[in-house]
Amino acid sequence: MSEPPRPEVLPEAVPKVVIVGAGFAGLYAAKALRRAPLEVLLIDQNNFHTFQPLLYQVATSGLEMGDIAHGVRQIFHRQRNVRFRRGRAVGVDWERKRVILADGESESFDALILGAGAVYSDFGVPGVLEHAWFLKDLAEAANLRSHILQRFERASAEPELIATGLLTFVIVGGGPTGVEMAGALVELFGGPLRKDFPELEHERVRVVLLEMTDTLLAAFGERSRRYAGAVLEGRGVELRFGATVAALRPGEVELASGEVIRSETLLWAAGVRGHPLAEALGLELTRGQRIRVEADLSLPGRPYAYVAGDLAGATDEAGLLYPQVAQVAIQQGKHAARQILRRLRNEPTEGFRYRDLGVMAIIGRNAGVAELSRALGGFKLRGFLGWLGWLFIHLVYLPGHRNRVVAFVNWAYNYLTFDRHVRLIAFMRPSAAAPESPDARADETRTTVR
Amino acid sequence: MSEPPRPEVLPEAVPKVVIVGAGFAGLYAAKALRRAPLEVLLIDQNNFHTFQPLLYQVATSGLEMGDIAHGVRQIFHRQRNVRFRRGRAVGVDWERKRVILADGESESFDALILGAGAVYSDFGVPGVLEHAWFLKDLAEAANLRSHILQRFERASAEPELIATGLLTFVIVGGGPTGVEMAGALVELFGGPLRKDFPELEHERVRVVLLEMTDTLLAAFGERSRRYAGAVLEGRGVELRFGATVAALRPGEVELASGEVIRSETLLWAAGVRGHPLAEALGLELTRGQRIRVEADLSLPGRPYAYVAGDLAGATDEAGLLYPQVAQVAIQQGKHAARQILRRLRNEPTEGFRYRDLGVMAIIGRNAGVAELSRALGGFKLRGFLGWLGWLFIHLVYLPGHRNRVVAFVNWAYNYLTFDRHVRLIAFMRPSAAAPESPDARADETRTTVR
């Protein structure tokens, strides 16, 4: 990508960079354009950034929704060259260089960064999209929390339903999300919910973690993996290796082995694919429906357009797709922004290089695993130190000073009291379906008893 | 109510008291039965108590939902004789002494306390139930916040809609709720949203308070009322006295004078009536659809059943219905519980007497009015002291230590920074419509983009 910039990227007026998505990639791209003589427009269907690594804590009553979300406009209060537009990007008019929004409006751009992220992939398993839970957005996490608490309320009113799997919680996928969720669930069930529901037979509550391969946390070293498995089993999680889901039906999970587990709650943490926007754009895709990009993250033949984060099909030296994690998104967002600045200065663009910091996952109270990359010394932490390191890193990256303070206070409270404050059963409407007009709202979002 | 208790109220087994509603009346009734040899069952459609006096702060981005709600089971962790059942009471089988729930199940009782509260009354004005907002439950308050923030997002994307009332906010009713809401709205608009939306013409934002009579805060003294009006006008609220709403239509409010105000946001704070459960029970009602009760708050001819709080049609010495405020509900809840204990001991019941502590309302930053009753010294506070008194009293009554700390921290943060943290646009589903089965949920509560 060292060809000279095309003239239309540098018009006489201030060039306009449109960034689609206010996730890690979009947020860090916009921040990297802080001092640039550019107009930046950030578009997202939500007016807030969601700190996805902590969604599992919202789903398990550890944190409030507001603790892991931060208003996009607030994040950029002091960055004068950023504007925000709440909307859902559904396409791009490449001829006229406009991003098309779901409401039919559009926004022109001189340069573009696509950071729409990923969605869960069902890998073709029947029933998953209809009946499984996913941890990809705030409303879903809050609803999963309400759904879990509602199972317990129901079991209290009708204990005979426990026999049909009312209190069986199945997690598919032994990666960080599955492990963190399993660990947080047994803590929630064994402590706060035991106190809340003294009338229930708590030994009948089950947390089952299904993993297709023979190990948890495949991205980690042997000792971390064994440690994670041992801690989860010690805390009461049923680990099932070599277990593949064949189908989901209301109230039951069928495994490839033919075994059926009765459960009303299946969390699908088995993997993600690129956001449907990728297909809608008609661009060339890689495995996992990610958009194929040049080494500098630009679109082939469209040097003014970049892709960053989970949506980008960028590959490392070995030709492998980068993992869809926050650190890659952050670094790619910054990289894309820097390439736009280089083109503005008529400098050749640079290939993206991932600076691997390592991997970490939390298993539960006092138990975490962290493996720093060799560049950072190659330390491996397990147990209390791994847990502490995880807390520290997540506090540092959580956007907003107030959120950091509140999350810290909540964690300290949870840790010291063994309690979980957030136990309201309150269902959210999906963000994509938020009513645009007040009258669309009237029928759906209000109490029926009046 | 001095007849001897009927034998069936005191069976050999532990008598069971069912309390319908976990509002102030139900909560304080259950607490008053703390040391009693009784089984107490509290029924509510939500698994949390809502601190209604602070709903307006949720609607205006001052507090999070979780700050003013507290899990019922958590409140009674240490009170062993209380059980909770999440459900909606829809009737009573007086013959078999059972409360009937919406799911078809029922619960037997020996004594009953009805504390289902109040709902908004439209006073027959067409369009109000369809198009107005009400501040009566948590989901509605959170949705009103999202709706308000969404008007601003929309105005940012399509400023031409401001001319059709997009940024005009109308409040009907100059009682405490209307005054508090108007004051909080101008603060939200003048501070945080001015910073969030530098692109908007903020002088076009309007807050209109419509009051039928010629004064705000009718329950207060002359000086407090004048003060409240002066403060609100000084901060930019348009006060309209003698203004009656004739009809609501999508996007407009028609006044009795024929004048039409274009607005997409009308908050109806004009008054309440008893919960529909009152009519469903087929009992004799007073004005405002409240249940007629004896002097001791029991139902005529049913000395084992009591009504407390907004639903109770109790009258003072002058024959006037008590105001539907928290203090009356708290005192009536305790009173009803005490009468059940008296009957248990074969003592005659006592008439309810309200101990009036006074009235208070907050108008905004540094501005409150508080008028203590003569029994408490008859002090009248205005301005900073009235504001401080209001904050103090509300912190004292907010249930849950953690909620008190968090609310205090949030208030201190809001006060010192002039900011409001909570600005997520995230719509809730109405509590009454929370899905009972996971599959009812699947279609409705999840993101459509996947």
pLDDT in tens, B412-442: 777 777 777 678 888 888 765 455 444 444 4
Select which of A107, A180, A294, A371 is catalytic: A180
Q: Is some CB atom of chain B closer than 8 A to the CB atom of A66?
A: yes
Strand partners for A370: A360, A381
Provide the total of helices (H) and of strands (E) in chain B, helices listed first: 13, 23
CB A216 within 8 A of CB A238: no
For the stretch B341-349, contacts whose Cβ atoms lie closer than 8 Å and that sit 24 or more positions apart, written own/partner, are B341/B33, B341/B36, B343/B5, B343/B9, B343/B10, B343/B111, B343/B303, B343/B304, B344/B5, B344/B9, B344/B10, B344/B15, B344/B36, B344/B37, B344/B38, B346/B4, B346/B5, B348/B1, B348/B2, B349/B1, B349/B2, B349/B296, B349/B298, B349/B303
How far is CA B204 from each of CA B155, B199, B200, B220, B368, rounded to the nearest angstrom? 11, 12, 9, 32, 27
Residues in Cβ contact with B56 at an 8 Å cutoff, skipping those fewer than 6 apart: B135, B141, B177, B180, B181, B184
pLDDT in tens, B150-206: 999 999 999 999 999 999 999 999 999 999 999 999 999 999 999 999 999 999 999
Q: A229: pLDDT confidence band, cut at 50, 70 and 90?
A: very high
End-to-end CA distance of chain A: 63
Closest CA to B146 of B63, B69, B59, B265: B59
Q: Which residues of B are catalytic?
A: 180
Task: Tell me the residue type at A151.
Answer: R
The answer, yes or no, to whether residue B443 has pLDDT greater than 90, is: no
pLDDT in tens, A395-413: 877 777 777 777 787 777 7
Q: Residue window 192-251, chain A: list those with CB within 8 Å of chain B.
A: 195-197, 199, 250-251
User: CB-CB: which of B77, B140, B149 is closest to A447?
Assistant: B140
Nearest CA in chain B to A266: B438
A7-45+87-120+273-344 folds as FAD/NAD(P)-binding domain (3.50.50)
Q: Is some CB atom of chain B closer than 8 A to the CB atom of A107?
A: no
Q: Which residues of B touch A46 (CB under 8 A)?
A: 424-426
Class of domain B128-270+358-417: alpha beta
Tell whether the torsion through CA atoms of A414, A415, A419 and A420 is positive or negative: positive
Nearest CA in chain A to B136: A447
The answer, yes or no, to whether residue A6 has pLDDT greater than 80, is: no
Query: Would you kindly state where each structural domain of chain B is located, as residue ranges?
Result: 7-45+87-120+273-344, 128-270+358-417
CB A112 within 8 A of CB A17: yes
Q: Which two tokens stand for residue B309?
A: 């709080």
C-alpha–C-alpha distance, residues A39 and A17, integer Å: 6
Mean pLDDT rounded to a whole number for chain B = 89
The answer, yes or no, to whether residue B20 has pLDDT greater than 60, is: yes
Closest CA to B296 of B253, B343, B229, B249: B343
The alpha carbon of residue B25 and the mean position of all alpha carbons in its chain are separated, in whole angstroms, by: 12
Q: What is the DSSP letter of B34?
A: T
Kindly report the length of chain A. 450
Q: Cβ separation of B449 and A197 shorter than 8 Å? A: no
Q: Is some CB atom of chain A closer than 8 A to the CB atom of B415?
A: no
The answer, yes or no, to whether residue B243 has pLDDT greater than 90, is: yes
pLDDT at A426: 87
pTM: 0.90
Q: Is some CB atom of chain B closer than 8 A to the CB atom of A120?
A: yes
pLDDT in tens, A28-44: 999 999 999 999 999 99
Angle at B210 between CA B205 and CA B215, to 5 degrees: 125
Is there a common fold for B7-45+87-120+273-344 and B128-270+358-417?
yes
Q: B385: pLDDT confidence band, cut at 50, 70 and 90?
A: confident
The answer, yes or no, to whether residue A155 has pLDDT greater than 80, is: yes
pLDDT at B376: 79
Q: Which helix (H) or strand (E) holds B386?
A: helix B384-397
Neighbours of A418 (CB within 10 A): 13
Q: Cβ separation of A139 and B446 shorter than 8 Å? A: yes
The whole-number average pLDDT for the span B320-337 is 96
User: Which stretches within B133-175 are classed as H helix?
Assistant: 138-157
pLDDT at B431: 62
Q: Is some CB atom of chain B closer than 8 A to the CB atom of A87?
A: yes
CB A299 within 8 A of CB A305: yes
Q: Residue window 144-163, chain B: list those with CB within 8 Å of chain A.
A: 146-147, 149-150, 153-154, 156-158
